[in-house]
Amino acid sequence: MNAAESTTTILIHLAGSVALLIWAVRLVRTGATRAFGPSLRQGLARFAGNRVSAMASGAVVTLILQSSTATTLLLSSFAGQALIGLPMAFAVLLGANVGTAIAAFLVSFELGWLWGACLSVGVVLYLANEAMNRARNIGRLIVGIGLILLSLAELKTASAPLAQSPVFRSVFEALASEPLLAIAITVAATWLTHS
């Protein structure tokens, strides 16, 4: 951390990056739901015939919606209407968690160059379609993906100075010797940022 980057500046940069990430995930979810909502519901109901396809459908829907919570809510509405049995529902939930892991794996690649292309294509699609039709919502979805990639690049940039911070290292060393406190902080952070 150099003199030009105060702790406050770093924290503001981190907070802005996290806020952008949360907003981008919401854009993807909204765009996907509006563009493909009925198709997602039909596909999820149709592919819940056996456990393997149920798990695969849970993963695919979660990859599209960028939210295992949204997949779970969709699934609970099916279960409430007795459209899907409990064993298949568990398979879809497992698939939703696999989808979350796959999404995390995919964004771990160096895709910094892709955010500009996604934003450009998404904005053109969004603005070229006046009515709230499928193309406009696909544009919203693509803008959201671009913003996710941008926010991840910004998070990486914002957190880089923390690696050199002696205070940051001291905090993590202290947490290493206090596993219960580390678990409590992790649970709180997960709850605050769940999808």
Say whether both 91 and 182 belong to one domain. Answer: no
Look at the pTM and tell me if it is higher than 0.75. no
Q: Do both 104 and 155 map to the same domain?
A: yes
- First-residue to last-residue Cα distance in the chain: 31
Separation between Cα atoms, residue 145 and residue 117, nearest integer Å: 10
Residue with the two structure tokens 């999820």: 44
Say yes or no to pLDDT of 4 above 60: no
Q: Domain for residue 91, yes or no?
A: yes
pLDDT tens column, 67-108? 777 778 777 777 777 777 788 888 888 999 898 888 888 777
Q: What is the pLDDT of residues 6-36, one digit of tens each?
A: 878 888 999 999 899 889 888 888 888 888 8
On whether both 144 and 179 belong to a single domain, the answer is: no
Mean pLDDT over the full length of the chain: 83
Q: For residue 96, give Cα distances in angstroms to 8, 56, 57, 68, 160.
A: 37, 8, 8, 5, 31
Looking at the structure, do residues 102 and 193 belong to the same domain, yes or no? no
Radius of gyration of the chain (CA): 20
Domain co-membership, 33 together with 20: yes
Name the residue range of residue 171's domain. 165-195
- If asked whether residues 178 and 100 sit together in one domain, one would say no
Same domain as 148, residue 63: yes
Question: Could you tell me if 107 and 130 lie in one domain?
Answer: yes
For the chain, the domain total comes to: 2
Q: Are residues 97 and 174 in the same domain?
A: no
